[in-house]
Structures are given as C-alpha cells and as structure tokens.
Amino acid sequence: MLNTFSPSIFGTFIKEQRHKRNLSIEQFSYMTKYSTATISLFENESRSFDIRKFNLFLKGLQLNSDYLSPLENHLDNYFHQFAIGIIYEKEEQIDYYYHLLRELLSPYKGTTFFIIIHLVNLIYCLYNDSSIAEVPIDQLKDASYLFADNVAFLYYMYMAEYAYYINNEFADSLSYFAQSRQIMLKLKTHPYFQMYHYLLSQHYAAINDYENCLKHCQLAAQDFTEYQNFPRLVNTNIQTARAYMIIKDYSRAQSIHISTLSTAKQLNLVYEEKTIIYNMAYIEMICEHFQHAYDLFLQIPPSQMNEKHYRRFAYTCIRLNKYDEAKDALFQASNLIQDNYSTKETRILNYFLQTLNFHQSLKKLIQLYTQSQNILTLDEKEYLLHMIIWFSKQAKQYKKTIHYMELLFRLRIK
C-alpha cells in the first residue's frame, strides 16, 4: 500500500486512465465484468481501497499488475526522508532524496501519481528560496484529497507559505493553517507537526503582527526542543529576536542573539551565524554604539556580506570617520546592488564622502525618504530616519532634526 497517498488517488487514477483511452463507463464495465455502479463507486471512493478490483481495472486498461511496484517499494520511504531532511535542514539528505523522487516518479509523469512531485517541487523551491515558476500551483490547489493525512499536513503548511510568502494572500494562508490544524487534532502527534508553529510565526511576522509572531515562536521553540531539532530552534530564536527588534526591545533581542550565536557556531550553521552577527551589529548601529557595530561587522566574512550589509557598514564607518573604509564598503555594495532604492542610497553616501557636504547630502536623503517611504520595510525606514537625523544635526538644521525624530518616535510606537 502506498501510505503517501489517500485511497482516493487509486480511483482517480483509474478514472483518468479510462478517459485517456476514451472509454465510457459502460465500455469499461463490459471489459472488466464489473457493473457501472461498482466502477463509479471505486472511481469516486475516498474511504477504502480494494486491491483486487484495482488490479482487475489495471488489466482492463492494459497495464501490468506490477505497474505501481516501484512506487510501492520506494515512495513512502523516499518522501519521508525528503520531508525529514526539510524539517531538520539536512541539505545533503534533501538533495539526495529530491533527485531520487524525481527519478522514481519520472515514468508516471502525466498521471495522477505525479502530483507528489509537484508538492515536492513546491517544498523544495520554498526551502531554497528559488523560483516556483514551473510548479503547477493550480493543479496543487485542488489536490489535498489525494494525499494521506500526514502528507496533507505538509501540503497545507507549504501552500500556506506559498500564499503569504509569494502571493501576499494572508486570508488564504490562514485557511490552509486552519486545515492543517484539523489534521493535527485528528492524528494527535507526528514529527511533521513541529513545523506548524514555526511557519505560522512567519505568517504573522509577514503581516507585522508581532504579538502572535512571538506567541508561535515560543510554541515552535518548545516543539523543536522536544524533537531535538536544533537547527530549526536556532532559526526560531532568530525569528524571535527579530520580532523583538521590530518592537524595539533591543536588550531582549541582543540577549537572544548572544545565547543563540554559540549554538549556531557549535552546529556550524554558517548562514545563521552571519545573520545573528549582522542583526547584532544593526542593533548596535541603531543604538549609536558604532564601535561595537563596527567590530561585529568585521566578524562577517566578506564572502558572506550582501549589499545591505555593506551599505550599513559604510554608514557605521562614516560615523567613526573611517572614510576610506566607507568608500571601499560602498564600492563592494555597488557591485551587488539589484534595486533602485539601494542604488540611490549608495550614491548619496558616495556623494557625501566625495564632498563632505552635510547640507546637500541631507537634502538628498530627505528626498529619498519621501520617494521611498511607502516601499521600505520597518527596519529600512528606521535606518534611513536615523541617517537623516544625524545629517540634520551636522548641518545644524535642528527643525528638521526635531521633525524626523518625531517621525521616528511614531514609527517606534506603531
């Protein structure tokens, strides 16, 4: 039995193959010696599976009785190992079973059973933050009934992530979460369930509901601790600290960062370690502890710095009068920039370093804020306001200082 699928898939497969052969249910009844009522019931049955009937129907479709043997021998194990790899962030295991699944399902392309590959591709692409352009989402939207409950749970989880992360469809996302919750209540326990609160916390972070984000981060941390899923626990702690950063509880965020950094180093989680150090540097920068921020930025290897890291390191260097280092950081940023806002900010800081003209630089920063405030994230807006306030003080334009300090205050109490 294929435990990856629900009983529904076998009847759906027979119906699909019958239609492909342009066989009416009456013709198929004559060929198989089963009544049309029996065939119709089998094709639409969702609660049980009769292997004897299925094999006779395969024969009627001129398919061998061992047609599904490769899937029966390997699919359940391959899919479970792939899912566990995703949940525990085991990169080699993910890639190994991803390719095994694609190879295993290749002969079944164009059949109902291939739906599992569409789900695997969705999960794989979301995990790797890669394009899902080739994933047939419309087919997946109507496919939940084809999966066994534990697989359907993952289906709902990653359809929810697709909804909020890719499409900004937050109502749809919550609907998927609600359906996954029903499966949790039904099955009581399963290793896959540890992803529920983690992904739900990300949903709430995406809509800036940090009260619920923190609530589900706490529950996710409990789940990951129970299952000894330490890589995911590190990421949950990063998410928790990030939420505290947004609500401006910097001391609590830094406390979480410090305790989590040692775990990330022990587990050799290079990306997570870089993220924690950068977040710590950002907090020190926002709190105007620029030497501390500078020292933290230097702990990030150049190969792991992105354009945002370089831009903020450049501003830190400017505040410490390390102008040559600031110029070098902006040069590195300019080689990595991909969006219009970052290009403009880099040009403004380069202009300042070339001219040391606070007045004109302030004017350009204010213009950038006016043009971009509706597209900036909260931390980007906060960072830009901090720059404007400092430049206005240096330019002795104190009315502007007061005005933008008020904007920053309002931003912090949202």
Structure tokens at 199: 């992904």
- For residue 413, what pLDDT is reported? 64
DSSP letters, 18-54, are HHHTT--HHHHHHHHT--HHHHHHHHH--S---HHHH
d(CA 162, CA 199): 11
Does any domain span residue 296? Answer: no
Asked if residue 198 belongs to a domain, the reply is no
The whole domain housing 17 covers 8-66
Which token pair is 94? 């993910």
The DSSP string of 87-108 is HHT-HHHHHHHHHHHHHHHGGG
Question: What is the CB-side half-sphere exposure of residue 46 using CA atoms within 13 A?
Answer: 8
pLDDT of residue 46: 66
**Measured distance CA(407)–CA(150) in Å, rounded:** 48
CB 350 within 8 Å of CB 327: yes
Q: How many CB atoms lie within 10 A of CB 39?
A: 22
| 382: in domain | yes
Per-residue pLDDT of the chain (414 residues; tens, 9 = 90+): 689 999 999 999 999 999 999 999 999 999 998 899 999 999 987 677 788 889 999 999 999 989 999 999 999 999 999 999 999 999 999 999 999 999 999 999 999 999 999 999 999 999 998 888 778 998 999 899 999 999 999 999 999 999 998 888 999 999 999 999 999 999 999 999 999 999 999 999 989 899 999 999 999 999 999 999 999 999 999 999 999 999 899 999 999 999 999 999 999 999 999 999 999 999 999 999 999 999 999 999 999 999 999 999 999 999 999 999 999 999 999 999 878 999 999 999 999 999 999 999 999 999 999 999 889 988 899 999 999 999 999 999 999 999 999 999 888 665
Residue 412 lies in a domain: yes
Residues 33 and 84 in one domain: no
Q: Is 83 in the same domain as 167?
A: yes
Q: What angle do CA 318, 241, 233 make, to 5 degrees?
A: 130
Task: Give the C-alpha separation, 267 to 234, whole Å.
Answer: 10
Is the residue at 210 inside a domain? Answer: no
| Sign of the CA dihedral running 334, 337, 338, 343 | negative
Pair 105, 117: CB distance under 8 Å: yes
- Tell the residue number behind the tokens 């040009």, with chain if given: 347
CB atoms within 10 A of CB 347: 14
Do 385 and 404 belong to one domain?
A: yes
Number of domains in the chain: 4
Q: Is the dihedral of CA 223, 226, 232, 236 positive or negative?
A: positive
Whether residues 384 and 325 fall in one domain: no
- The rounded distance, in Å, linking the Cα atoms of 384 and 377 is 11
Paired residues of 5 in beta bridges: 147
- Domain-located, residue 293: no
Burial of 203 (0-12, 13-18, 19+ CB in 10 A): buried
Give residue 300's pLDDT.
Answer: 97
8 Å CB contact between 346 and 306: no
Q: Are residues 80 and 181 in the same domain?
A: yes
| Residue 113 maps to a domain | yes
What is residue 130's predicted lDDT score, i.e. its pLDDT? Answer: 85
> DSSP secondary-structure letter at 352?
H
Q: Is the residue at 264 inside a domain?
A: no
Nearby residues of 32 by Cβ (< 8 Å), 6 or more positions away: 39, 56, 57, 59, 60
Please give the pLDDT value at position 52. Answer: 86
One domain for residues 21 and 84: no
pLDDT confidence of residue 132: 83
298 vs 3: CA distance, rounded Å: 51
Question: What was the pLDDT predicted at 346?
Answer: 96
